[in-house]
Amino acid sequence: MSFNRLLRDSLKRDPTGSIVIFSLLLAFWLFISGCADWQHWLTGIPLVAFLTIFWNQLFSDERAKTKITWRQSKLFLRYFIFLLVEIVKANFAVALIVLSPKMNISPGLIVLKVTLEKDMPKAIYANSITMTPGTITVDLDGDRMLIHGMTREHAFGVRSWYMYDIMKDIEEAGRID
């Protein structure tokens, strides 16, 4: 099968998903390369196109097309901005704990039950917890997450984290009944 035919088939199968994956991968490529000169574009575009085609082939068994609403996009942007703020706040909190003479570390584990229905929002939320310093999602199994916190406050703070409500809104905005 030729490259052009693979590209055409993958765009027909899920054009929205292909465009989203291509855009995200290209943005990530340019971000990690630290430069947006012509060499990086020339290298990145074919690499990202290959990865997008591979992604489409990987999920070709799933007949559902990617559906992203404007409301989901706005909510996800809000989620991303709030996540960045939370990461900065958590970095300061962890730095204060580590740099204090007492080093008040009291590790704790909690099991958190989530009511998110789809795997992608669960994975994004679990990774958001892990990206926030002081907490790690140790396990994600069905509707339960095992979360480790550097202090008991970190661990138990995840139970009432407002980011979960935003992720719930993102999932509900994508429902098309």
User: Given this model, what pLDDT does residue 136 score?
Assistant: 92
Does any domain span residue 166? yes
One domain, residues 152 and 96: yes
Task: Show the domain range for 49.
Answer: 3-58
Domain contains 63: no
Are residues 130 and 74 located together in one domain of the fold?
Answer: yes
User: Each residue of 80-103: pLDDT tens digit?
Assistant: 999 999 999 999 988 988 888 887
Query: For the chain, how big is the Rg over CA atoms in Å?
Result: 20
Query: Which residue is associated with the tokens 């002081």?
Result: 134
Residues listed for the chain? 177
Rounded to the nearest integer, the mean pLDDT of the chain is: 83
The Cα–Cα gap between 9 and 3 comes to 10
* Same domain flag for 78 and 155: yes
Own/partner pairs, 156-161, CB within 8 angstroms, 24+ separation: 156/108, 156/110, 158/110, 158/112, 158/129, 159/110, 159/112, 161/129
Looking at the predicted structure, is the pLDDT value of residue 145 above 60?
yes
The domain total for the chain is 2
Is the Cβ–Cβ distance between 143 and 115 less than 8 Å?
yes
- Claim to verify: residue 52 and residue 83 sit in the same structural domain: no
Kindly tell me if the per-residue pLDDT of 144 is higher than 90.
yes
Tell me if 99 is assigned to some domain.
Answer: yes
Q: What pLDDT band is residue 6 in, cutting at 50, 70 and 90?
A: low
Task: Note the pLDDT tens digit of each residue in 27-42.
Answer: 888 888 888 888 888 9
**45 and 94 share a domain?**
no
Helices and strands, counts by H and E, the chain? 7, 3
Domain identity same for 115 and 49: no
Residue 76 maps to a domain? yes
Whether 64 maps to a domain, the answer reads no
Percent of the chain clearing pLDDT 70 (strictly above): 86
Model pLDDT, residue 177: 46
Q: Which residues contact 11 (CB under 8 A, 6 or more apart)?
A: 18
Provide the angle, in degrees to the nearest 10, between the axes of the packed helices 15-33 and 38-58.
140
Instruction: Confirm whether 65 is domain-assigned.
Output: no
pLDDT of res. 91: 92
Query: What is the rounded end-to-end Cα distance, in angstroms, of the chain?
Result: 37
Tell me, yes or no, whether 125 lies in a domain: yes
Burial class (CB in 10 A: 0-12, 13-18, 19+), 173: middle
